[in-house]
Amino acid sequence: MTWVGHATTLLQLGPVNVLTDPVWGERASPLRWLGPRRLMSPGLEFDALPPLDVVLLSHNHYDHLDVTTVRRIADRFPDTPWLCPMGLRHLLQSFGVRQVIERDWWQTFDTPAFSATCAPARHFSARWIRDRNQTLWCSWVIQADGVRVFFAGDTALHPAFADIAARLGPFDLVMLPIGAYEPRWFMQQVHMNPEDAVAAYRTLVDGTGAAPPCFTMHWGTFRLTDEPLEEPPARFAQRWREAGLPASANWTLGHGETRRL
């Protein structure tokens, strides 16, 4: 697994190359001159991407769905399928994506090389003023080469984590957002803080007797909210230790860093 930045990761599961929420754009905004600007360059050059077997998309916010990036991928890898939650087919096709597979929560897309299941999340969707919640948001579980990965996308803490674990686990890698959480009175409905992420992880692995790696994302790339930029990983590490979880399973990476399962 290689962290490109924010929620963008490259998963290389045996022969299967998976890209999550790809954003190589300079701003998480519909405008080129206004909006959150990238603070860290992508950890992987776009031209260094290997052939992609699937792209997983969690929802339509600009820090997760970047039109310039979508068009670049669609042009370079025209046959790559994009898996997305319900309602995003037309938008992706308008950006040049040829193969769009929409799924509702708990629906699966199977191929000989991999299986991916759309799972619940607690968030919202919008790209304009008047389209709030007109498309779905989700998490994903992808299985390939004997490895099962949970990609939370963008989410607040929610009770369906227990259902995800029971129906789709156990997991070999858990990918959870830990940033963009202040002010809490406003953000707690849509984003987890580090304490929530530890709670979500414990729910996802409860009863398995294992402590798979937990990759922390959604921090350090764009300044979206009020907390200090470096607070999420430090606070997560403290809460992780306090929970008695193994330090080796805390995968808090630098941009461009790769870890092997």
Instruction: Report the chain's mean pLDDT, rounded to a whole number.
Output: 96
Chain center to CA of 10: 11
Answer whether residue 257 is part of any domain.
Answer: no
Q: In the predicted model, what is the mean pLDDT of residues 20-30?
A: 92
The CATH number of the domain holding residue 165 is 3.60.15.10
Residue of 124, 118, 149, 12 lying closest to 64 (CA atoms): 124
Answer whether residue 139 is part of any domain.
Answer: yes
Confidence of residue 239 (pLDDT cuts 50, 70, 90): very high
Task: Convert the pLDDT of each residue in 40-70 to its tens digit.
Answer: 999 999 999 999 999 999 999 999 999 999 9
Indicate the burial class of 242 (C-beta count within 10 angstroms; 0-12, 13-18, 19 or more). Answer: exposed
Domain around 133: 2-251
Answer whether residue 152 is part of any domain.
Answer: yes
Residues 6+ apart with CB under 8 A from 175: 9, 20, 149, 150, 151, 152, 214, 215, 217
Tell me: pLDDT of 165 over 90: yes
Answer whether residue 122 is part of any domain.
Answer: yes
Cα(181)–Cα(101) distance, integer angstroms: 31
Q: In the predicted model, what is the mean pLDDT of residues 100-105?
A: 98
pLDDT of 28 reads: 85
Count how many domains the chain has.
Answer: 1
Single-letter amino acid, residue 80 = T
Answer whether residue 12 is part of any domain.
Answer: yes
Answer whether residue 194 is part of any domain.
Answer: yes
- DSSP character at residue 63: T
What is the layout of strands, in order, in the sheet containing 173-177? 108-110, 115-119, 139-144, 147-151, 173-177, 214-217, 250-251
In this prediction, what percent of the chain has a pLDDT beyond 90?
93
In this prediction, what percent of the chain has a pLDDT beyond 70?
100
Answer whether residue 258 is part of any domain.
Answer: no
Cα(77)–Cα(88) distance, integer angstroms: 19
Answer whether residue 256 is part of any domain.
Answer: no
